[in-house]
Structure 1
Amino acid sequence: MSAAGTPQQADIDPAENRRRWQALGVGLVAAFMTLLDVSIVNVAVPSLDRALHASPSDLQWVLSGYALTFGLALVPAGRFGDARGRRNAFVFGIALFTITSAFAGLAPSPTWLVIARLLQGAAAGIVNPQVTGVIQELFRGPERARPFGLLGATIGISTAVGPLLGGLLIALGGQEHGWRYVFFVNVPVGIIAVILGWRLLPARVKGHGDRHRLDPVGVVLLGVGVLLVLLPLVQEQQWHGLWKWALIPAGLLVLVAFALWERRYSRQRQPLFDLRLFGFRSYVLGSLIALIYFGGFTAIFFIFTLFLQNGHGYSPLIAGLAITPFALGSAAASALGGRVVNRLGRPLVAVGLLAVVLGLAGTALALHLFPDAPVPWVTAAPLLLAGLGSGLVIAPNQTLTLSEVPVPQAGSGAGMLQTGQRIGAAAGIAAVGSVFFAALASTHGNWTSAFERSLIIATAIIALALIAAVVDILLGRRHH
């Protein structure tokens, strides 16, 4: 035991140590697969449109319906894993994800595909909190930095590499059926993950069995609140008129009711989400940074894919390759960030956010200065810098945000953090996308100008996350 009383890796039986890293490996593969499906489908939209004759509304639901149900499932699934065992929730989620991926690949109509995507998103929402919960359970104190670093790398790389992998699969399967490969690729990986997950993941949190009711009122209130906030964001392009924005304040009121209910419910039973987690500054500001960062980070790939394919006529494969420098930078920096986060703390996240801001501003400047040069070459260096910065944001921020969360609340705490990420991503895509399409209309189809304007908005959003990180640093120094 260490001086702090936490078991260190050297004190753990070698067989047990090997088993927990194998369990982490299974979890990371599952997280990669489910998060990949957030971005991989973007490059498949043109061929999917031609094959199924889908309407714009259908296509919007194929893309955003996944994110919607993903966000709705996170906290209830995290709480279920905390209370009834993470292995059961993980295996069920991966099995459902595998089945619905096969259904999506076999889709004969847009409606079939939309339903499959909604169920697939819910399955992804079941899986992801279990991965974070397993890290909290199997690793202690400072040694969590490395697995959280690997998880952060998985999040960053899966989002950035999705368009490249999608482009490769479409090139392999052809324009008519390549989009189906995007979904079928999940099936063999999912089957293996189900088998290994059942064998390797811990069945129940030791010493924290909680067979109380799973707070159904809290589940409904949180679900309705998140749904009302997310719907106008994910349908921003399809629902015309200002009335849709009234759903957001309505959703916030429902979330206030959820908070009041949880405070009351916690006096007698374990709530769906323990509001005492908001008493930790690391959790509050870390969650805020994640919400804002994902608002700018996810939107970039949405508009960049449109800009490359529709604006410049690049193939899905070239469009994916153009984003690869970001993915490579993110992978390299995530490995470093996971090792040094305990020593450097929140300043590391601030440095990463600054690098992202500079990289994205550099991307906009490069396109402005060299409008006739090949886009993938012009943007490679600044996107690499942005990717290096992103690797120092996602993993270290997650480590710091969850560092004080007790193991019995690990799943629901991680679920709420990821729910914020999904809300941030939806809001960012809506805001940046609306600027992109408005600029495209006002400039009579000038794709470069529209992309530059929307990229500046995304950069400004990430700059807000940088301000939040600086505030956390200043507050931390004041307390010390």
Structure 2
Amino acid sequence: MSTDRSAAEDTGYDDRRRWRALGVGLVAAFMTLLDVSIVNVAVPSIDRALHATPSDLQWVLSGYALTFGLILVPAGRFGDARGRRTGFVVGLVLFTLTSALAGLATSPLWLIVTRLMQGAAAGVVNPQVSGMIQQLFRGAERGRAFGLLGATIGISTAVGPLLGGLLIQAGGEQHGWRYVFFVNVPVGIVAVLLGWRLMPARPTGAADRHRLDPIGVLLLGVGVTLVLLPLVQRQQWQGAAKWLLMPAGLVFLVAFGLWERRYARRRQPLFDLRLFGLRSYTLGTLVGLLYFAGFTAIFFIFTLYLQIGLGYTALAAGLAITPFALGSAAASAVGGRVVTRYGRPLVAAGLLVVVIGLGAVVLVLRGSPHLSVPLLTAAPFLVAGLGSGLVIAPNQTLALSEVPVPQAGSGAGMLQTGQRIGSAAGIAAVGALFFSTLADTRNDWSTAFRHALVLAAAIIGLAFIVALVDIVAGHRRSGSAVPARSGAAS
């Protein structure tokens, strides 16, 4: 109770208002993250309605993720400097407007442009939610709040194909895809009104309100764009030349780091590089990057396997992923509550459970399954979902646990940028193996899916190794501190 009172005193928000603000933030986060995956099942419908080329469809899918990842850190810094409410409301108004425009699209170009703008708007909204949690919650309550955010992330990613399938079925194959965008409009309007009332309005610290480091924004933006472009356009840009953009992007990111170090001597930088001096933040960011590389790719290849390979409907494909979403939701709520007690071992245990669940999926799909694939994979995906719930929220809580509140938005933005890069890289790598195996085996979809799923599980296994490194380093640090404390006591 003392923690609750001190949090209310520090923030000027009573308990009821803090949790209401969190509820509005979670609704907005759910909408924006849902649009990463919900459009996947709408691609055939969009293709028929707009006569889109494969390149157009690729931009509809990946353009959103590109601009989403591009804007996260600058938007987080904006919220740190000028208050969460302004960034949240402006981003959500833009997201609602572009959702409506996307639903009204009459050409592929119209839809691509609105998807790019929609992704940028989502990138403005999301760091404000994480930053708001850092600002309004303390101690175990913060873990609980991040647990709810983690559940939101996990559910929105996993349940997107199901909701997309339901909306397409309701609207019909020709125009049902428009419902996927229109559904955001009424929810967005209500969230804007409530967000203006409940979100923190003032800056959280003594950040420079008038300088937002434009050179840093430019260097980071170019660097992230050059790294992400060959990943999101891997299928449409033929040849190896596109991969030269990645080292060029790394050069810009190094230049960004050097500039930020110099800029920090005079003013608050776009991103404080000293955060990477915190082991919890650095390893938490790496765990997030690797986990999202494997986690997001699973739904990409599973949807292709079911809809194109086996001929399931969009609704059936969405239902097949529901067990993962349910497991993730249940475990996220628990993970957020106990992460302050168990720390990084909880994340490591969750990662191990995910790998075990995915391994079980591979086993039940050996050969050509004669039973319903959604039924065969339901239990293993439920197990994997339970593990996922112990990863996303607890890892985010631990990664941001030592980040000062004045850097909460930019710190959360960089953490989520790592997740976006991980998602793009994972889909590129796992998707490449999936399609190459499909070609080598003459359209053996089951074998292609199993091989790609093994790679996704292996990437998540790397995240498990990083979590173990953090655990070992923590034990060594605490072990070396014990003699020092004993000596001081004597």
TM-score (normalised: structure 2): 0.96
String of CA shifts for 1:235-266, please: whole Å, max 9, x gaps. 00111111111111111111010000000000
1:167 corresponds in structure 2 to 165
> Aligned AA for 1:28?
L
Of 319, 322, 342, the residue aligned with 1:324 is 322
1:45 corresponds in structure 2 to 43
2:481 corresponds in structure 1 to none
Q: How does 1:426-441 map to 2 (within 5 A)?
A: 426-441=424-439
2:420 corresponds in structure 1 to 422
Q: How does 1:427-466 map to 2 (within 5 A)?
A: 427-466=425-464
Write the distance in 2 (CA, Å) between the matches of 1:153 and 1:268: 39
Contact 2:93–2:188 at 8 Å: present in 1 too?
Answer: yes
SS across alignment from 1:175: coil
> Aligned AA for 2:309?
G
1:177 corresponds in structure 2 to 175
Contact 1:7–1:140 at 8 Å: present in 2 too?
Answer: no
Of 266, 269, 286, the residue aligned with 1:268 is 266
Of 121, 125, 128, the residue aligned with 2:126 is 128
Q: Which sits farther off after the overlay, 9-18 or 54-63?
A: 9-18
2:188 corresponds in structure 1 to 190
Contact 2:437–2:447 at 8 Å: present in 1 too?
Answer: yes
Is 1:225 equivalent to 2:240 in the alignment?
A: no
Distance 1:15 1:77, change over 3 A: closer
Per the TM alignment, residue 17 of structure 1 is displaced from its structure 2 partner at its CA by: 1.0
SS across alignment from 2:473: helix
SS across alignment from 1:405: coil
Write the distance in 2 (CA, Å) between the matches of 1:335 and 1:90: 24
Write the distance in 2 (CA, Å) between the matches of 1:430 and 1:97: 26
Q: How does 1:103-122 map to 2 (within 5 A)?
A: 103-122=101-120
String of CA shifts for 1:313-347, please: whole Å, max 9, x gaps. 10100000000000000000001101110000000
Contact 2:63–2:116 at 8 Å: present in 1 too?
Answer: yes
1:408 corresponds in structure 2 to 406
Contact 1:8–1:143 at 8 Å: present in 2 too?
Answer: no
Write the distance in 1 (CA, Å) between the matches of 2:161 and 2:18: 31
Distance 1:256 1:380, change over 3 A: same
Distance 1:210 1:332, change over 3 A: same
Q: Which sits farther off after the overlay, 336-345 or 205-214?
A: 205-214
Q: How does 1:373-388 map to 2 (within 5 A)?
A: 373-388=371-386
Contact 1:81–1:88 at 8 Å: present in 2 too?
Answer: yes
TM-score (normalised: structure 1): 0.98
Write the distance in 1 (CA, Å) between the matches of 2:247 and 2:196: 42
> Aligned AA for 1:192?
V
Contact 2:231–2:428 at 8 Å: present in 1 too?
Answer: yes
Write the distance in 2 (CA, Å) between the matches of 1:306 and 1:15: 46
Q: How does 1:312-391 map to 2 (within 5 A)?
A: 312-368=310-366, 371-391=369-389
Write the distance in 1 (CA, Å) between the matches of 2:13 and 2:275: 34
Contact 1:325–1:384 at 8 Å: present in 2 too?
Answer: yes
Contact 1:212–1:270 at 8 Å: present in 2 too?
Answer: no
Q: Which sits farther off after the overlay, 388-397 or 209-218?
A: 209-218
SS across alignment from 1:269: coil
Contact 2:13–2:136 at 8 Å: present in 1 too?
Answer: no
2:297 corresponds in structure 1 to 299
SS across alignment from 1:449: helix
Of 45, 61, 66, the residue aligned with 1:63 is 61
1:142 corresponds in structure 2 to 140
Is 1:286 equivalent to 2:272 in the alignment?
A: no
Write the distance in 2 (CA, Å) between the matches of 1:25 and 1:332: 17
Write the distance in 2 (CA, Å) between the matches of 1:77 and 1:410: 11
String of CA shifts for 1:181-200, please: whole Å, max 9, x gaps. 00000000000011000011
Write the distance in 2 (CA, Å) between the matches of 1:15 and 1:393: 29
Q: How does 1:229-268 map to 2 (within 5 A)?
A: 229-268=227-266
String of CA shifts for 1:4-56, please: whole Å, max 9, x gaps. x8854687999821011100000000000000000000000011111111000
Of 5, 27, 30, the residue aligned with 1:29 is 27
> Aligned AA for 1:451?
F
> Aligned AA for 1:147?
A
String of CA shifts for 1:271-299, please: whole Å, max 9, x gaps. 00000101100000000000000000000
Distance 1:389 1:56, change over 3 A: same
Contact 2:7–2:138 at 8 Å: present in 1 too?
Answer: no
SS across alignment from 2:174: helix
Write the distance in 2 (CA, Å) between the matches of 1:13 and 1:463: 39
> Aligned AA for 2:69?
G
Distance 1:261 1:6, change over 3 A: farther
What is the aligned-residue RMSD (CA, Å)? 1.5
String of CA shifts for 1:53-110, please: whole Å, max 9, x gaps. 1000000000000000000000000000100111001000000000000000000000
2:81 corresponds in structure 1 to 83
SS across alignment from 1:176: coil
Write the distance in 2 (CA, Å) between the matches of 1:378 and 1:171: 24
Write the distance in 2 (CA, Å) between the matches of 1:217 and 1:473: 37
String of CA shifts for 1:391-426, please: whole Å, max 9, x gaps. 000000000000000000000000000000000000
Per the TM alignment, residue 143 of structure 1 is displaced from its structure 2 partner at its CA by: 1.9
Q: How many residues align?
A: 478
1:199 corresponds in structure 2 to 197
Query: Where in structure 1 are there 5+ consecutive unaligned residues?
Result: none
Distance 1:170 1:417, change over 3 A: same
Write the distance in 2 (CA, Å) between the matches of 1:260 and 1:142: 36
Per the TM alignment, residue 205 of structure 1 is displaced from its structure 2 partner at its CA by: 3.0
Contact 1:80–1:89 at 8 Å: present in 2 too?
Answer: yes
SS across alignment from 2:58: helix
Contact 2:34–2:157 at 8 Å: present in 1 too?
Answer: yes
Distance 1:15 1:260, change over 3 A: closer
2:97 corresponds in structure 1 to 99
Contact 1:370–1:378 at 8 Å: present in 2 too?
Answer: no
Contact 1:24–1:131 at 8 Å: present in 2 too?
Answer: yes
> Aligned AA for 1:279?
G
Q: Which sits farther off after the overlay, 138-147 or 81-90?
A: 138-147
Distance 1:231 1:122, change over 3 A: same
Contact 1:212–1:269 at 8 Å: present in 2 too?
Answer: no
Write the distance in 2 (CA, Å) between the matches of 1:7 and 1:408: 21
Q: Which sits farther off after the overlay, 456-465 or 365-374?
A: 365-374
Q: Which sits farther off after the overlay, 15-24 or 290-299?
A: 15-24
Contact 2:434–2:451 at 8 Å: present in 1 too?
Answer: yes
Distance 1:403 1:111, change over 3 A: same
Q: Which sits farther off after the overlay, 65-74 or 247-256?
A: 247-256
Per the TM alignment, residue 371 of structure 1 is displaced from its structure 2 partner at its CA by: 1.4
